[in-house]
Amino acid sequence: MARKKRNRAPINSTTLKNRYSRRSFVIGAMGGGVGLLLAGRMGYIAIAENEKYATESESNRVNLTLIPPRRGWILDRNGAPLASNRADFRVDIIPERMPDPEKTIDTLGDLLGLNVARVQDLKATVEDVRGFQPVEVDTGLTFDQFAAISVRLPDLPGVVPQRGFSRYYPTGASVGHLIGYVGPASAEEYEIDRNPLLVTPGYKIGKDGLEKQFEQELRGTPGARRVEVTASGRIIRDLDTRQDIQGDPVQLTIDGPLQDYAARRIGLESGSVVVMDCETGDLLCMASMPSFDPNSFSDGIGSIEYAMLREDDRVPLRNKVLKGLYPPGSTVKPMHCMSFLKEGIDPQETIICGGGRRIGNRFFNCWSNHGRVDMAKAIYQSCDSYFYHFAQQIGFDKVAGMARDLGLGKQYPLPVTSQFFGTVPDPAWKLEKYGREWASFDTVNASIGQGYYLTSPLQLAVMSARLATGKVLNPRLVLDGAMPDPNSYNFNSDEIAYIRQAMSDVVNGPGTAGRGRLPFPDIQMAGKTGTAQVVSLSVSDGRSGPWKYRDHGLFVFFAPVEQPRYAGAVVIEHGGGSAAAYPIARDVMTFLFDPAKGMDALRAMERQWGGTAQERLDAKYAAYASTRGEQVVARPRRDEDIFEQVEAEARIAAAQSEAIASDAIAPRPNPAQSGGPPPDAEAPDSGSDATP
């Protein structure tokens, strides 16, 4: 069958030309459309988004960096710096910009001569922090070290050397607890405050103490620097710089030389000294020792130094002025006598102390046999029997009311991170806390400042100032204008004069602190000794044996007696009794009235102790580091963790005396009764004291 042939149009040049024209038109139209789109987009970019891309182009050409502001100074009452700034060279690293952190840190360690422990600390820190968070490597570099790093920057990505200012504390450990320190902002702090300044290399914020409380005032305003750079980031030239504005200064009521003197005078002991101005309530001194060097913390404390501080049983990381709680011992006896007078007790009324007092069917011991005792003798000889008797007579709830009126068990409106307020026990308090009724031995214990009684050195200083003046003086820490005149307690003038004279006799008469007399013929100091037991007699005699079982030594004071100008308190932890405390008060008051005489006495003691407090701290660190090397417990990642742990341990320590509060306290006997020396014959720092 024959195949049918298809009819096809003939192909000729005209047909081909028409096809080519149609295809060219389609392709041309498509190309034109794309061109129009591109042209439109280019026009949009060039006109509508001109500002955006100009900015991005400029940012590629120009780098803008913040200049950390200089912190405001913290000044003492006379305008001398307690915390200042000093120019230095420093180097930081930014982990997220470092492709090989370990290699970079090793290189920096070689260039800066860092020890092995510091290098390991840096590596551990880089692993823990957020990548954007700057990490301080070293500060106080020499110019040669700074130059050596600067010329190697192309090979050290993430390394930021800079010239700037670092925080400096001229008296070091003397102000560690009071002023606090600064450090780089943590990731948690940056989450709260998204200020880019917090992640600027070299910038530090207040981490503790007044540095933290006044962060906003001290911070200042950052400056800025614009520089032209190449695509690789190399600086071509500076364009302009806006200077930073330094933070505002904060002026304290603290007397800087007195603060330093008191801290140094505590010497080898563990304790605190607080001094107040009786006219204004100004806190002139808040020394807590041993302490830490805030310069070390601000530079970034290492594991070795942290371990040394952490393992010290004298707890140098605890602010003992605000977070040390102790039974006040006999220091509250003058205040208790004020409550007796208020309830109508005649100060001439006497009892017979035959070595104790029978109350009900129990005999409660006194620390000595005082014979016939009136109120004045009860104060200057610290007779326990007298207070057993009259506290039972008026009821301890009345005594507790006076204690609170005079400042115990209170928190004060001070710019501090926290303060412990202690305990003034009474029947209602015990029933609420323990579900038990108040017993006769509770009154016995509390009447001599033991049992559940807990006070801070700050509270004891306030009590002393209020007794000295008869006014409701409140402590003040910042010079921020004139203080209003304090209210008066309206004490009977004859009664308050009687108490003051009895307290004067403690020091200047037949009392328990004869070696506390001031070395001036025309100035006398009044005071009251106190010994606070922390364990029972069955565990320790309070004067010897393990340090942690020895009694605390306390002393409250004011001077001059006739016209009180200064008042305060000294508390020495486990000093063996008040003989460890009142010589310190004597020397601190001597320094206030005659600095040269006070310094002469201190220098002689420091030669025996092995140098100043800062010198001893430096020597202790050197010895510790040489023996321990790298085998130490790593410090917590966050500084906040350090002080949270310290505060928790302080609360546990404060409760130590409660272990012996469930029965009557047996006062320590007088060594003279067993052939020992009388109290005032003991060496000031012997750690032994017979007197409550």
- What span, in angstroms and rounded, lies between the C-alpha atoms of 329 and 520? 29
Report yes or no: 112 and 90 within 8 Å, Cβ to Cβ. Answer: no
DSSP H helices in 214-332: 215-219, 256-265, 294-299, 303-311, 320-323
Is the CB of residue 534 less than 8 Å from the CB of residue 556? no
Which segments of 442-520 are extended strands (E)?
none
Q: Which two tokens stand for residue 307?
A: 């371990």
CB 311 within 8 A of CB 621: no
Cα(48)–Cα(38) distance, rounded to whole angstroms? Answer: 15
Burial class for 417, CB neighbours closer than 10 Å (0-12, 13-18, 19+): middle
Please enumerate in sequence order all residues whose Cβ is within 8 A of that of 681, keeping only pairs 6 or more positions apart, or say none.
Answer: none
d(CA 140, CA 148): 14
What span, in angstroms and rounded, lies between the C-alpha atoms of 462 and 276? 8
186 DSSP assignment: P
> Comparing C-alpha atoms, which of 471, 364, 362, 456 is closest to residue 412?
456
Q: Which of 455, 434, 454, 430 is nearest to 442 (CA)?
A: 430
Query: 3-class DSSP state for residue 558?
Result: strand
DSSP string computed for 109-141:
HHHHT--HHHHHHHHHHHHHS-TTS-EEEEEEE
Three-class DSSP category at 206: strand
Report d(CA 176, CA 374) in Å as an integer: 45
Distance CA 531, CA 464 (A): 17
Q: Please check whether residue 174 is in contact with residue 260, taking contact to mean a CB–CB distance below 8 angstroms.
A: yes
**Which of 291, 330, 382, 540 is flagged as catalytic?**
330
The answer to whether 440 is a known catalytic residue is no
Positions annotated as catalytic residues are 330
